[in-house]
């Protein structure tokens, strides 16, 4: 049987019931379930603000746009970021006419605080942290750096739905200026496509709510509707915004997925532990260790191997389809100005492999995959 890298799991009857409600009352757009989902997410995370969007990519974009405008950052001021991420992260920086300055990653594959410190200049305005695979890694140290140098902290939490510290607290809650989650089709809380932007400041949450709906300020019409409902069209437009808010069909899927998120992530951690045990004595496989105080969502199970391309072929011969997260972004033409500035990221880019990890796999499946990996990973 073929084993894919990811396979989302939907509780189909529950999902259909939520969606049915939308269809029955004829409300599939903004409002209704999107509001319910925002409330549910705030309750689950303890975050004060949450605005539901149609993707996390647009969330990262608007996060930077708002921070830039409100803090009067100049064009091409700098944001320090990681080269080991999906390009949404770094495109968001450039689309807002800021400069992405790449710092290297460490053994956790996340930003290395030491290199981050070296990359700070008098133009640095923010640090973008990506919790790769759901790991918090050096986030707390990055938070200290942000405090010390008066930088904003943007947390790309696309992999972190459900990640906690062991003490139950939420990564970034105290010190991130904005946290952006993804509920894209293969993330831990799958919906199809959508995301959540959670600003620390209420004022920014109010701005992003307008910006995600073309800049429309609903306050005017909310006021008029209360009077006689006749002035719905009489809203004001404050920004050149986007069509970026989420809808009630996606939120329906999100509401169901959220109920099972902790249970699902616990199962992911169990599978990851089986991989760890299987690889324990294999000196050719380097494991990516999760921090002791992190209860990871385990979005990914990553290893570093000597000859990745050969191993991928062997796995494919066995109908196992792994993935790579990610190519060092500075290898892309778009970011080639920073080529070779992050030597460890470059190494990772050539040796990292994500093994299948999803809710349809059994412990036996994982052992079978691990056996194929172990037998075919004999060094360079
Ligand atoms: C998936 C992903 C995104 C983008 O999420 P979308 O919801 O698909 O826009 C951003 N950053 C990282 C690290 C991701 O993995």
Query: Residue 293 corresponds to which tokens in the numbers above?
Result: 């105080």
| Domain 262-374 grouped into CATH 3.30.300.30 | no
Which pLDDT tens digit goes with each residue over 14-23? Answer: 999 999 999 9
Residue 130 alpha carbon to ligand 1 centre in Å: 10
Q: Is the beta carbon of 92 within 6 A of some atom in ligand 1?
A: no
Query: How far is Cα 125 from Cα 318, in angstroms, rounded to an integer?
Result: 48
What's the pTM value of the predicted model, to 2 decimals?
A: 0.96
Pocket test for ligand 1, best of 156, 163, 302 (most atoms within 8 A of CB): 156
> 262-374: same fold as 12-259?
no
- State the DSSP code for 108: T
- Out of 158, 194, 245, 299, give the residue to mutate to test ligand 1, the one with the largest number of ligand atoms within 8 Å of its CB: 158
Does 135 contact ligand 1 (Cβ within 6 A)? no
CATH topology of domain 12-259: 3.40.640
What pLDDT does 223 receive?
55
Per-residue pLDDT reduced to its tens digit, 85-107: 999 999 999 999 999 999 999 99
Helices 33-45, 248-279: axis angle to 10 degrees equals 40
State the closest ligand 1 atom to the C-alpha of 184, by its place in the atom list counted from 1. Answer: 7
Alpha helices, DSSP H, located in the chain: 12-25, 33-45, 56-70, 87-95, 113-119, 139-149, 202-211, 219-227, 248-279, 308-317, 343-351, 363-375
Name the residue ranges covered by the structural domains of the chain: 12-259, 262-374
Question: In the prediction, which pLDDT does 229 show?
Answer: 59
Predicted confidence at residue 218, as pLDDT, reads 77
How far is it, in rounded angstroms, from Cα 214 to Cα 218?
11
Q: Which two tokens stand for residue 348?
A: 């990772």
Distance set, CA 378 to CA 9, 75, 106, 307 (Å) = 34, 50, 24, 9
Low-confidence stretches of the chain (pLDDT beneath 70): 219-232, 377-380
- Write a three-state SS string for 144-209: HHHHHHCCEEEEECCCCCCCEECCCCCCCCCCCCEEEEECECCCCCCCECCEEEEECCHHHHHHHH
């Amino acid at each position: 049987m073929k084993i894919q890298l990811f396979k989302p799991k939907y509780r189909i009857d529950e999902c259909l019931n939520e969606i049915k409600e939308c269809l029955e009352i004829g409300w599939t757009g903004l409002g209704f379930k999107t509001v319910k989902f925002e409330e549910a997410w705030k309750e689950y995370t303890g975050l004060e603000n949450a605005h539901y969007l149609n993707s996390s990519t647009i969330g990262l974009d608007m996060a930077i746009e708002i921070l830039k405008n409100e803090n009067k950052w100049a064009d091409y001021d700098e944001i320090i970021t990681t080269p080991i991420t999906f390009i949404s992260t770094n495109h968001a920086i450039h689309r807002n006419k800021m400069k992405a300055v790449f710092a290297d990653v460490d053994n956790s594959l996340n930003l290395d605080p030491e290199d981050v410190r070296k990359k700070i200049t008098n133009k640095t305005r923010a640090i973008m942290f990506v919790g790769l695979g759901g790991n918090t890694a050096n986030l707390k140290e990055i938070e200290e750096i942000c405090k010390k140098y008066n930088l904003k902290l943007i947390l790309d939490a696309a992999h972190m739905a459900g990640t906690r510290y062991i003490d139950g607290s939420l990564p970034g809650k105290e010190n991130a200026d904005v946290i952006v989650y993804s509920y894209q089709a293969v993330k831990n809380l799958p919906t199809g496509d959508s995301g959540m932007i959670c600003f620390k400041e209420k004022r920014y949450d109010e701005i992003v709510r307008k910006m995600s709906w073309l800049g429309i300020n609903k306050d005017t019409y909310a006021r008029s509707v209360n009077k006689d409902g006749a002035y719905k069209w009489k809203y004001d437009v404050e920004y050149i915004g986007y069509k970026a808010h989420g809808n009630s069909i996606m939120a329906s899927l999100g509401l169901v997925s959220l109920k099972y998120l902790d249970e699902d992530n616990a199962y992911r951690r169990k599978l990851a532990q089986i991989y760890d045990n299987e690889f324990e004595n294999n000196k050719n496989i380097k494991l990516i260790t999760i921090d002791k105080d992190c209860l990871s969502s385990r979005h990914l199970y990553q290893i570093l191997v000597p000859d990745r391309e050969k191993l991928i072929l062997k796995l494919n011969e066995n109908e196992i389809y792994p993935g790579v997260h990610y190519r060092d972004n500075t290898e892309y033409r778009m970011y080639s100005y920073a080529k070779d500035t992050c030597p460890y990221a470059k190494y990772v880019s050539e040796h990292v492999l994500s093994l299948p990890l999803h809710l349809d796999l059994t412990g036996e499946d994982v052992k079978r995959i691990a056996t194929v990996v172990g037998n075919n990973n004999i060094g360079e």
